[in-house]
Amino acid sequence: MRDIITEIWSTAKRNKLRTTLTGFAVAWGIFMLIFLLGAGNGLINAQLQSSDRFLSNSMMVFGGQTSKPYNGLQEGRNISLQDRDMNTTRTGFQANIDEVGAEMQQSGVTVSLGQNYFNGTLTGVYPNHCKINKREILYGRFINDIDIKDKRKVVVLSQDNAKELKNDYQNLIGQYVNVGNFAFKVVGIYKKDQSEMNKDAFSSFTTMKTMYNKGDSVGNIEYSFHGLPTQAANDNFEKVYRGRINTNHLAAPNDESAVWLWNRYTQSMQMNQGIGIIRTALWIVGLFTLLSGIVGVSNIMLITVKERTREFGIRKAIGASPASILKLIIIESVIITTIFGYTGMVLGVAANEYMNATIGHMKVDTGLFQATMFLNPTVGLDVCFEATLVIIIAGTIAGLIPARKAAKIPPIEALRAE
């Protein structure tokens, strides 16, 4: 092996420019592959992060407007969800639905403490809201079952709003604040989420419903579910569920706008599919870039073989077997591609790290909320490993054709070559 390396070193040294240019083609190919994958990962990670804001196997149901006449009733009727819809949801689909909750909003509510106040939305929710919408509680707790049962006047404030009321806002826990004309006890503070406006103050659903005289109306229904692994299963479930809710409101069972379903599971499934396609596309573009590098190496090796035909003739005359010539060329090609490919890969990783350090957490600030456009644009160790494998395979392929050519020339013809 050491002899082969010495051989390759001496031939590479003789043609510095050629070796460098060949190497550059390969290094560039791998660099682009790694860089593209890194940038793609940045976009994908940002998408994943934003979709991660919700529990993926959850569904929200909103009231809508009928779009077709049914049972003697005209289209265009407004549908608002009611208690019986919650009952239907709770009892009719026990095979799939876990916890059922609802959210009811009252906007323009003033919350005050002494001289300080803010205007926000009071949202009555069930305990499962915290899980479904992934609220992170900083201090205290979220709404619990006892709050629901006893219609307790409790409130969970956002970090931002709590700050408006008191600078050392963690001490608000246990204090009473005025919500409209009532005194509510602050039981928790949740972490602000840059991607929305954070105006919600959460309270118990039952408290809200009583306080604001909402009657039968429940606002929006939300629940988590399980056991619907495929798109088809989800479609089927939605169809049956929609039919049942529509029937409650005397709307056509197949009317798709009477109630709106927001299925986060199928949404994330579609997104995963999209991400898969993007990933594949990036690999394909990267590999084609790399391919031009490989063709370059192959081309150079062909020229090299032609130039060295006589040398191979001499080697064969003094006892080199075709296999040893084949080995020499292939190893040379693999070593050149590996050295330069590795360099390209290291540069690509460095470029990704630079990108990560500069625009890796780029956010678009709309004033109301921030959206992450680019997150952690790097590639994992596994991709580097795969890329290394690709380099070695590329080197072998690049060397194969020239090497076979060199091994096949009969020694007497090779000796005649100039």
Q: Which stretch binds other proteins (CB under 8 A): 16-24, 200-208, 213-221, 313-321?
A: 313-321
Least separation in angstroms between CB 411 and other proteins: 5
Residue 1 or 357 with smaller CB distance to other proteins: 1
CB-neighbour burial class of residue 404 (10 A; exposed 0-12, middle 13-18, buried 19+): middle
Least separation in angstroms between CB 5 and other proteins: 12
415 binds other proteins per the rule CB under 8 A: yes
Residue position matching structure tokens 């090497």: 403
Residue 2 or 16 with smaller CB distance to other proteins: 2
Which residue in the set 295, 314, 401, 417 belongs to the binding site for other proteins (CB under 8 A)? Answer: 314
CA end-to-end span of the chain, whole Å? 29
Q: Which stretch binds other proteins (CB under 8 A): 30-38, 43-51, 172-180, 406-414?
A: 406-414
Residue 317 or 350 with smaller CB distance to other proteins: 317
324 binds other proteins per the rule CB under 8 A: yes
Question: What is the rounded distance in angstroms from the CA atom of residue 59 to the CA atom of residue 177?
Answer: 33
Least separation in angstroms between CB 409 and other proteins: 10
Residue 313 or 348 with smaller CB distance to other proteins: 313
Find out whether 251 and 79 touch, Cβ atoms under 8 Å: yes
Q: Which stretch binds other proteins (CB under 8 A): 103-111, 147-155, 335-343, 408-416?
A: 408-416
DSSP three-state, residue 116: strand
DSSP three-state, residue 320: coil
1 binds other proteins per the rule CB under 8 A: no
Q: Which stretch binds other proteins (CB under 8 A): 2-10, 51-59, 60-68, 274-282?
A: 2-10
Name the DSSP class of 375: -
Residue 373 or 415 with smaller CB distance to other proteins: 415
Name the DSSP class of 172: G
318 binds other proteins per the rule CB under 8 A: yes
Least separation in angstroms between CB 317 and other proteins: 5
CA 350 to chain centre: 23
Which residue in the set 75, 307, 311, 353 belongs to the binding site for other proteins (CB under 8 A)? Answer: 311
320 binds other proteins per the rule CB under 8 A: yes
Instruction: Find the helix or strand (DSSP H, E) in which 288 lies.
Output: helix 264-307
Q: Which stretch binds other proteins (CB under 8 A): 68-76, 77-85, 283-291, 306-314?
A: 306-314
Question: What is the rounded distance in angstroms from the CA atom of residue 346 to the CA atom of residue 294?
Answer: 18
How would DSSP label each residue in 117-139? EEEEEEEEE-THHHHHTTPPEEE
Question: What is the rounded distance in angstroms from the CA atom of residue 252 to the CA atom of residue 244?
Answer: 10
Find out whether 159 and 173 touch, Cβ atoms under 8 Å: no
How many residues belong to the site for other proteins (CB under 8 A)? 23
| C-alpha angle 98-103-106 in degrees, rounded to nearest 5 | 175
316 binds other proteins per the rule CB under 8 A: yes
- For the chain, the C-alpha Rg in angstroms (whole number) is 33
Question: What is the rounded distance in angstroms from the CA atom of residue 108 to the CA atom of residue 114?
Answer: 19
Instruction: Find the helix or strand (DSSP H, E) in which 6 lies.
Output: helix 2-14
Name the DSSP class of 60: E
317 binds other proteins per the rule CB under 8 A: yes
Q: Which of residues 205-244 bind other proteins (CB under 8 A)?
A: none
Which residue in the set 152, 209, 242, 315 belongs to the binding site for other proteins (CB under 8 A)? Answer: 315
Least separation in angstroms between CB 296 and other proteins: 23
Question: What is the rounded distance in angstroms from the CA atom of residue 108 to the CA atom of residue 180?
Answer: 9
Residue 55 or 409 with smaller CB distance to other proteins: 409
Q: Which of residues 10-49 bind other proteins (CB under 8 A)?
A: 10-11, 14
Least separation in angstroms between CB 415 and other proteins: 7
In the complex, the residues that contact other proteins under the rule CB under 8 A are: 2-3, 10-11, 14, 310-311, 313-324, 410-412, 415
